[in-house]
Amino acid sequence: MPVKSRKQALRRSRIDRLRCSFSQLRADAILVSNLPNIQYLCGFSGSAGLLLVESSQSTLFTDSRYTFQAREEVTEARVAIATHGLITAVGAALKARQAQKRVAYSTAHVTVAQKAALAAAAGSRIRWVGDIDTVQKQRAVKDAEEIAVMRDAAILISQVFEKTLPKIRPGISELDLAVEIEYTMKKLGASGPSFETIVAAGPHSAWAHARPSSKRLKGGDLVVLDQGAILRAYCSDMTRTVFVGNAPKRVQKLYRAVLEAQEAAKYAIHPGAMAGDVDAAARGVLKGYRFDQYFTHSTGHGLGLEVHEMPRIGRGENTTLQEGMVVTVEPGVYLEGLGGIRIEDDVVVTAKGALDLTTAPRDFLEL
């Protein structure tokens, strides 16, 4: 029954797929310490955990605060409640193994102090193998279920923006707008913002990562609104820039250039494309307008359980895009004194190219 076995293969668990990396890593086990990686692999969403994936079993180590929660959330792993620290418990478990083991761990997540404690707790029979991003790479390519949730998360944040539009008017503060945005996303079912909502008006909008202040919007302000929602653990991330009043010709031209840069970047996205080439497509358009010196960040980033994950869409990045990756496309220009313009959508890489998940309109709105 070939159909059934194909289906089974598709459903092979994420932990099983991770086990396929053992041979490449020359390891018998992987110790996963990054919380989003743990959630991805076994479903646990608590704030303290270590997941030990061995060839024939997996164990989530957590503490007594999470006894009930772990029992409810965790599938595909045994739950062990550590009473004297997670590292001590993992060390004791490894020490109890008969054979000598090679255990991979992420050098990008384990601190120098944790590594020393692990080595001491597990004893000298365990060999530690440095890994960087095996689980992250697996997470970068989303499965159909993940893409469906991420589309819902992108639609949700688009709806939040459209509901917020009538409130963007002179007199309201950046902070009050940000509060409205986060309130609306929760009312629409989000568990929370995927990052601190950015509302930045006037010259403040030239800070690409501004925090909303009590400053009130006024006529002649560019307003950058960068917002994302977490829905069923997955993030969306969307930026729109509007103008309070009628925008001068120069601002209109800047906006058109950014939108054109975004379209060029999306057009450059397809399975097999280099991430750096997508960035270069956006940058090239802005260079044509002589605005490239105002584009001071990368074109985009991967998105999923975390708001920033692999792949990075930046200058010279040589990651090859694959079908199923979800990334942001968000060129921007920032002019000190005048303000900033950024347009950001979430897209999924498909065989036919970039497919927009974000649904909010991208026209320049003069309010």
**Interface residue list for a copy of itself (CB under 8 A):** 45-47, 64-69, 107-113, 115-116, 130, 132, 175, 178-179, 182-183, 186-187, 191-192, 196, 206-212, 296-297, 336
Q: In 10 A of CB 136, how many CB atoms?
A: 21
Residue number, 57 or 67, with CB nearest to a copy of itself: 67
Residue number, 182 or 221, with CB nearest to a copy of itself: 182
Residue number, 157 or 178, with CB nearest to a copy of itself: 178
Phi, psi of 218 (to 5 degrees): -145, 165
Residue number, 272 or 337, with CB nearest to a copy of itself: 337
The closest of 330, 346, 352, 350 to 154, measured between CA atoms, is 346
Closest contact distance (angstroms) between CB of 202 and a copy of itself is 13
Q: What is the DSSP letter of 167?
A: G
| C-beta separation of 332 from 258 below 8 A | yes
Is the previous residue joined to 36 through a cis bond, with omega within 30 degrees of 0? no
The closest of 39, 9, 25 to 134, measured between CA atoms, is 25
Q: In 10 A of CB 278, how many CB atoms?
A: 30
Residue number, 150 or 210, with CB nearest to a copy of itself: 210
Sheet with 326-329, edge to edge strand ranges: 309-313, 300-302, 326-329, 345-350, 353-356
In the Cβ-directed half-sphere of 71, how many Cα atoms lie within 13 Å?
5
Residue number, 106 or 364, with CB nearest to a copy of itself: 106
| C-beta separation of 295 from 283 below 8 A | yes
Q: Which helix (H) or strand (E) holds 320?
A: none
| C-beta separation of 60 from 41 below 8 A | no
| C-beta separation of 129 from 101 below 8 A | no
The Cα–Cα gap between 74 and 59 comes to 10
Closest contact distance (angstroms) between CB of 132 and a copy of itself is 6
Closest contact distance (angstroms) between CB of 34 and a copy of itself is 11
- Structure-token pair, residue 189: 């079912």
Q: In 10 A of CB 41, how many CB atoms?
A: 25
Residue number, 78 or 209, with CB nearest to a copy of itself: 209
Ordered DSSP codes for 134-156: HHHHHHHB--HHHHHHHHHHHHH
Residue number, 179 or 355, with CB nearest to a copy of itself: 179
The Cα–Cα gap between 207 and 353 comes to 31
